[in-house]
Amino acid sequence: MQTLIVHGRQPALGKAELESLYGADILRPAGDNASLLDIEPTSIDFMRLGGMVKFCKVLTILDTTKWDDIEKFLVNTTPQHFSVLPDGKLKIGLSVYGIKASPKRIQASALEIKKAGKTVGRSIRIVPNKGAAMNSAQVLHNKLTQKLGWELVFVRDGDKTILAQSIAVQDIDAYAARDQKRPYRDSRVGMLPPKLAQTIINLAGGKNETKTVLDPFCGTGVVMQEALLMGFSAHGTDLEPRMVEYSEKNLQWLKQTSRRPIAGWTVEQADATNYEWGGFDAIAGETYLGRPLSSLPDPNILNKIIQDCDTIHKKFLKNVARQTKPGLRMCIAVPAWKKKDGFAHLPTLEKLSELGYTRLSFEGANEQELIYHRPDQTVARELVVLIRK
Ligand SMILES: C[S@@+](CC[C@H](N)C(=O)[O-])C[C@H]1O[C@@H](n2cnc3c(N)ncnc32)[C@H](O)[C@@H]1O
């Protein structure tokens, strides 16, 4: 296993994403929030992995999970590596996952490394540990993945510790710009984070050869935007003319501002329950989530909302099934309503087989874990991956 990926707040989303793209056989979980992959780090396009926080090269596996032992190892071995690093002041940060060591203790070990560096004539700046692990902003803004930077990542894996070096971290600034600088946004249709849009597209595409991604509920165009940045063509439709206009204008903005080449796209007004789209290879999108809710309404009202959403989803899935061939793959983020004792799901999800679909399951993530939600949200997004039978 050569590559270590540290996932985000909901690790299962990232694990399912990796499984989709690379297959379960070259993947294994490492602790609760990381995955090991048996692929060369250089052959992975980490910029398109929405479920990744850190992307690391595995350096070695240590036969211990005791921080004292790990510190000894570091102090003994790091000086010999300093001599091969380029001249200049080095910046070092330590990130620890799943190992018993307080931020203060980790920081003290970093200072020991600094001392060891001095003995071989290296000047080192230590990035202070706010927590056990550096957050993305710290890694990014301290340039720890660049020439004079060094973030050492320690992940507990059973009775061993994986020691890795990060080579990329999620570009939170670029994600924020793609999200917030788009000229047309609408909080009523929900703000799909670009990272989640990437995960949805990766779950939809899998290992298939994809050229055109269709989003039948395109809204303001986040999925289309991310599909275009990933090198696909995009086709989007939405019932509301205003949304069609928003998507079109947002994508024009993307084309003007992006440094990456952008393929072609089409946005049209259409009802996803009866429209015939024509050529596309995968469907990725966030469907109709019902009206926004700040808290759980009265059960009768909630039932009505669920039924209304369900009718649209059932008709949409029937419409897609009648115009596609077996093997078509899609990932849709559909609503799930957070109740006191779990989630209320769309009833149609129980009838997928009758509608002509198989729901894909993942080794590294169960269905419940594929529900994206924040603590303050009533309407969550359940990621459903379907294959046309
Ligand atoms: C949750 S929003 C999608 C937001 C989108 N991901 C974005 O980037 O802004 C769902 C969208 O579905 C559209 N919609 C609702 N019913 C529809 C239908 N029957 N056919 C097509 N679009 C529909 C709404 O107008 C809305 O824009």
Q: Residue 219 in contact with residue 239, Cβ under 8 Å?
A: no
Paired strand residues for 365: 362
Ligand 1 pocket, Cβ-based, cut-off 6 angstroms: 189-190, 192, 216-217, 219-223, 238-240, 243, 271-273, 286, 288-289, 312
Q: Whose CA is nearest to atom 23 of ligand 1?
A: 239
Q: In terms of DSSP bridges, do strands 34-37 and 233-238 run parallel, antiparallel, or are they unpaired?
A: unpaired
Residues 128/131/136/141 CA torsion (nearest 10 deg): -20
Crossing angle for the helix pair 222-229 and 172-180, nearest 10 degrees?
A: 140
Ligand 1 center–CA 92 separation, angstroms: 46
Atom in ligand 1 nearest the alpha carbon of residue 219:
27
Helices (H) and strands (E) in the chain, counts: 9, 17
Instruction: Find, among 282, 388, 321, 359, the residue nearest to 21 by Cα.
Output: 282
Question: Would the CA dihedral through 124, 128, 134, 135 be positive or negative?
Answer: negative
Q: Which atom of ligand 1 lies nearest, measured to the CA of 216?
A: 21
**What stretches of 170-266 show up as alpha helix (H) in DSSP?**
172-180, 194-205, 222-229, 241-257
The amino acid occupying position 293 is L
Ligand 1: atom nearest CA of 271 is 20
CA distance 122 to 134: 22
Which among 183, 314, 312, 176 is positioned nearest to 247, based on CA atoms?
Answer: 183
Residues of the chain below pLDDT 50: none
* Structure confidence at residue 245 (pLDDT): 97
Distance of CA 218 from the midpoint of ligand 1 (Å): 6
What pLDDT sits at residue 1? Answer: 67
For ligand 1, atom 27, name the residue with the nearest CA.
219
Going by alpha carbons, the residue nearest to atom 17 of ligand 1 is 239
Which residue's alpha carbon is at the smallest distance from atom 4 of ligand 1? 219
Residue type, 73: F
In angstroms, how far is the first alpha carbon of the chain from the final one? 34
Type and span of the H or E element at 134: none
The span from the CA of 297 to the CA of 320, in Å, is 32
Which amino acid, 282?
Answer: A
Distance between CA 158 and CA 64 in Å, rounded?
A: 9
